[in-house]
Amino acid sequence: MDAGFIRRSLRRAGYGVILAGTMLAATSALAQDSGPLRFGLAMPLSGSQALYGNDQVKGALWGVEDINKKGGVAGRKLEMIVLDTQADTQLGINAVNRLISVEKVPIVLTSWSNVVKAVAPIANREKVLVISATANSPEIAHLGDYVYTAFPLADVDIAAVAKYAYKTLGKRTAAVLYVNNESGIEGAKVYRSAFEKEGGKIAIFEAYDLKSTDYTGMLLKLKNANPDMVHIQGLVADLPQVIAQMRQLGLQQRISTYAVGYNVKIIEQLGKAAEGLIVTSLAPGAKDNPRVAEYVERWKKEMGRVPNGLPYTQYLYDEPYIIAAVFEWAIKQKLPLTGENMRKGLLAIKNFNLPMTGMLSVGEDHRVHKPVYLLTVQDGVFVPLATVD
Amino acid sequence: MIDFTMVAQIFWTGTATSSYYVLFTIAFALVLKVVGLWNFAQAGFMGIAFYAMFFAFNVLHIPVWAGLAFGFAFTIFFTGLVEVLCLRTLRKRRSSSLTFFIFTLILSEFIAYLLMLFFGTEPVTLFPSILSPVRIVADIAVSDWDLVALSSTGALSLALWVFLRFHREGQFLTAVADNGPLAELYGISAKRAYLVAMTIASVFVCAGMYLFGTRAGVIPTTPLELMLFAVIATLLGGIGRIFSAALAAIVIGLVQSFSILVIASAWQNLVLYGFLFFTILVFPRGFRLPGLRRVRGADLAPKPTAESA
């Protein structure tokens, strides 16, 4: 075997490698140009928050289905990859890491404030756009360049209910009870700040443990303080228990909470104890948007019930439309579908006219602003109370 | 401001809510005493008990008494199955305590995952409503649930005490707990004693989960969290002392309830862990009141005098 033969063999091998590499790159590019447009959804599918998480995923799935039925995005299907977070910080990090590193998605939708905060550093480091779907901690507005929210933060609806309590209901003192986690702490602070800003006084500001089942001591402190109004910043699992024990101890103050209380199950569990409960909704009802009525009918037909946390599911139905618009923008601009370009698209489009929740404007301040719908329980059903713009 | 009514209300509600912890503790302490097993599988049995009753009330829609009977029967059957098929096998193989410990823990986790598969992870209560009628007695809110909890816990505890003290089978359990091989020499079947102990424990577990499930939402992993209380109370009451453990459960429950007067309610659960730490370090054999000791029969017998000798 002479040197010339070896040189020729090496040259041929080199050509083969170049050809294989070119074909591989071309195939990948072709796949990217024609394959589905993928994004991630990290939500609690199990655990104590799955009651809301599963229904929100269902809303998003229907959003994706309806977009694809209308031809998809620039002729390509939208595909959603769903992973479970259990609303747990560590599991949320695992899920988002997998979506970014393994599934290679440029956008991730996620929720629950503790999870959004935990995955923010990953989003900023990997330059993947993370959109907070329904979390409401005001800190979400300050989590970095690659974290945005498509849902109004707590300083919108909770501030609105605090102002309503003072200005319209004439309550001068309030008690704030909150679950001792991200969702509870931030929301409670917003209520306190808004109520005091109006001139009210916070009689008691008390946290309870997420795993508590007996709130007697805390409620007796509340009884002693005798506030005009009680605001509970809890979660779907503990909220009915706190209200039930409150009523059983003879505390009859009017109670307000945020959108988590907008759930027919709470009325089932509490019966008459739920009367007068004020909840917020950041999504229009059937009277304000006829599509919402159709959406609710679809739930009844396909699932045999109304969704848990209807306003949240409305947002999740709409958020694939935001993602579709951003993908379309990038494709039209002939830009690679990276997180960086997704972010550019989000800010370039800015205003999204969404089917369930109406107009949404994404600000450079990482916030969105929406009217707040207040509802109350009357004769065992939620009825509109006021709209605060 | 703290007043007598507040203290009385915390005492009343704290005692009532300690009821299910007392039942779980008695079950755990009984199995530990008789079988000599740190039965972490009890969390799995608690899950089985709850979801069996949940199924009976919400799927089969049977009356409360029938649902309870269904829950008891299912839990007893399942517990018996574990004792006969699993624990006896480990004993035959002369497995170490560590093997038993790992087995019971894994069994609990496995059951929790199975329950998640069948029932999901949404918090559910046994009945749609978690409210019970309340009456005010001397300025204290007394609910029907409180009365049911206290009376059922008291009745079951008394029944167990009578059983262990006066019934033949109960005395056999005590004999096996004191000295298994010696008891066997006297013709007492240790196997039967273990099965009886596990059966009684499953009754207490089912009763405890009924009380808990009519007041608070449960997910498949909830029993694993409730178990910690039973373990701490058993340690504090002293290993082998069932009713001291039950008393310890009440004390811990009341301390947790009253702690609200000095610490924020967000940290109430920290009290549990503080108790565990304190108990293991300072009272590894449990807390005993000074000056009290068991009087033996020999102590009561008249002492021989010089003339009688």
A271 touches chain B (CB under 8 A): yes
- CB contacts of B265 in chain A (<8 Å) are 206-209, 212, 215, 217-218, 221
Interface test with A, best of B2, B265, B271, B273 (most A CBs within 10 A): B265
Distance from C-alpha of A370 to C-alpha of B179, rounded to nearest angstrom: 73
Q: Cα separations (Å) of A142 from A97, A190, A245, B98, B299? A: 21, 16, 37, 49, 75
Q: Cα separations (Å) of A334 from A77, A79, A133, B134? A: 18, 20, 27, 68
- The residues, any chain, with a CB within 8 Å of residue A213's CB and separated by 6 or more, are A241, B17, B212, B215, B216
- Domain borders along chain A are 37-152+289-356, 155-281+373-388
Please name which of A43, A77, A118 lies closest in space to residue A315, comparing C-alpha atoms. Answer: A43
Say how many residues make up chain B.
309
pLDDT band at B43 (very low <50, low <70, confident <90, very high): very high
Q: For position B61, which CATH number holds?
A: 1.10.3470
- CB contacts of B121 in chain A (<8 Å) are 46-48, 50
Residue B302, pLDDT score: 45
Q: Do A216 and B10 touch (CB under 8 A)?
A: yes
- Six-digit token pair at A241? 């228990």
Q: What is the pTM of this model?
A: 0.77
- The residues, any chain, with a CB within 8 Å of residue A222's CB and separated by 6 or more, are A175, A177, A203, A204, A206, A230, A246, A251
Residue B308, pLDDT score: 43
Residue B299 lies in a domain: no
Q: Do B10 and A215 touch (CB under 8 A)?
A: no
From B14, B116, B141, residue closest to A46, measured CB to CB = B116
Residue B295 has pLDDT above 50, yes or no: no
Residue B298, pLDDT score: 42
- The residues, any chain, with a CB within 8 Å of residue A94's CB and separated by 6 or more, are none
Dihedrals phi, psi of A77, to nearest 5 degrees:
-75, 145
Q: Could you give the number of structural domains in chain B?
A: 1
Residue A142, pLDDT score: 95
Distance from C-alpha of B186 to C-alpha of B177, rounded to nearest angstrom: 14
B178 touches chain A (CB under 8 A): no
- The residues, any chain, with a CB within 8 Å of residue A121's CB and separated by 6 or more, are A144
How many other CB atoms sit within 10 Å of the CB of residue A8?
A: 11
Q: Do B131 and A206 touch (CB under 8 A)?
A: no
Distance from C-alpha of A216 to C-alpha of A378, rounded to nearest angstrom: 27
Are the C-beta atoms of residues A191 and A164 closer than 8 Å to each other? no
Averaged pLDDT for residues B67-91: 96
- CB contacts of B130 in chain A (<8 Å) are 240-241, 244, 269-270
Q: Do B122 and A207 touch (CB under 8 A)?
A: no
Are the C-beta atoms of residues A309 and A259 closer than 8 Å to each other? yes
Residue B289 has pLDDT above 70, yes or no: no
- CB contacts of A240 in chain B (<8 Å) are 130, 217
Residue B298 lies in a domain: no
Query: Which is more confidently placed, B198 or B303?
Result: B198
Q: Closest-CA residue in chain B for A211?
A: B269
Distance from C-alpha of A329 to C-alpha of A12, rounded to nearest angstrom: 43
Sheet with A129-132: list strands edge to edge. Answer: A78-84, A37-43, A107-110, A129-132, A147-149
Distance from C-alpha of A282 to C-alpha of B164, rounded to nearest angstrom: 61
How many other CB atoms sit within 10 Å of the CB of residue A144?
A: 13
- The residues, any chain, with a CB within 8 Å of residue A107's CB and separated by 6 or more, are A39, A40, A128, A129, A130, A131, A323, A326, A339, A342
Helix ranges restricted to H, A249-287: 264-270
- Six-digit token pair at A132? 């907070």
From B9, B212, B216, residue closest to A216, measured CB to CB = B9
- Six-digit token pair at A69? 């039925």
Distance from C-alpha of B285 to C-alpha of B236, rounded to nearest angstrom: 8
Pick among 3.10.290.10, 3.40.50.2300, 3.40.1710.10, 3.40.50.11270: CATH of A155-281+373-388:
3.40.50.2300
Rounded to the nearest angstrom, the minimum Cα separation between B246 and chain A is 19
Residue A340, pLDDT score: 96
Q: Do B6 and A236 touch (CB under 8 A)?
A: no
Instruction: State whether residue A352 is helix, strand or coil.
Output: strand
- CB contacts of B143 in chain A (<8 Å) are 248
Dihedrals phi, psi of A106, to nearest 5 degrees:
-90, -15
Distance from C-alpha of A251 to C-alpha of B182, rounded to nearest angstrom: 60
Residue B260, pLDDT score: 80
Averaged pLDDT for residues B231-258: 90
Residue B161 lies in a domain: yes
Q: Do B131 and A271 touch (CB under 8 A)?
A: yes
From B130, B143, B261, residue closest to A269, measured CB to CB = B130
Q: Do B130 and A241 touch (CB under 8 A)?
A: yes
Residue B294, pLDDT score: 46
Residue B126 lies in a domain: no
The C-alpha angle A380, A381, A382, rounded to 5 degrees, equals 135
Are the C-beta atoms of residues B145 and B132 closer than 8 Å to each other? yes
CATH fold match for the domains A37-152+289-356 and A155-281+373-388: yes
pLDDT tens series, chain A, 389 aa: 577 777 777 777 666 666 655 555 555 544 456 799 999 999 999 888 888 899 999 999 999 999 999 999 999 999 999 999 999 999 999 999 999 999 999 999 999 999 999 999 999 999 999 999 999 888 999 999 999 999 998 888 999 999 999 999 999 999 999 999 887 999 999 999 999 999 999 999 999 988 888 899 899 999 989 999 999 999 888 999 999 999 999 999 999 999 889 988 899 889 999 999 999 998 888 878 889 999 999 999 999 998 988 999 999 999 999 999 999 999 999 999 999 999 999 999 999 999 999 989 998 889 997 889 999 999 999 999 999 87
pLDDT band at B299 (very low <50, low <70, confident <90, very high): very low
- The residues, any chain, with a CB within 8 Å of residue A303's CB and separated by 6 or more, are A58
Helices (H) and strands (E) in chain A, counts: 12, 14
Averaged pLDDT for residues B248-252: 92
Superfamily of domain A37-152+289-356: Response regulator (3.40.50.2300)
Residue A1, pLDDT score: 57
The number of C-alpha atoms within 13 Å of A136 and in the hemisphere containing its C-beta is 30
Residue B46 lies in a domain: yes
pLDDT digit string, tens, across residues B138-160:
889 999 999 999 999 999 999 99
Q: Closest-CA residue in chain B for A215?
A: B265
B131 touches chain A (CB under 8 A): yes
Dihedrals phi, psi of A86, to nearest 5 degrees:
55, 20
Domain extent for B274? 4-121+140-289
- Six-digit token pair at A266? 């709470």
* Strand pairing category for A173-179 and A372-378: unpaired
Please name which of A229, A357, A350 lies closest in space to residue A284, comparing C-alpha atoms. Answer: A357
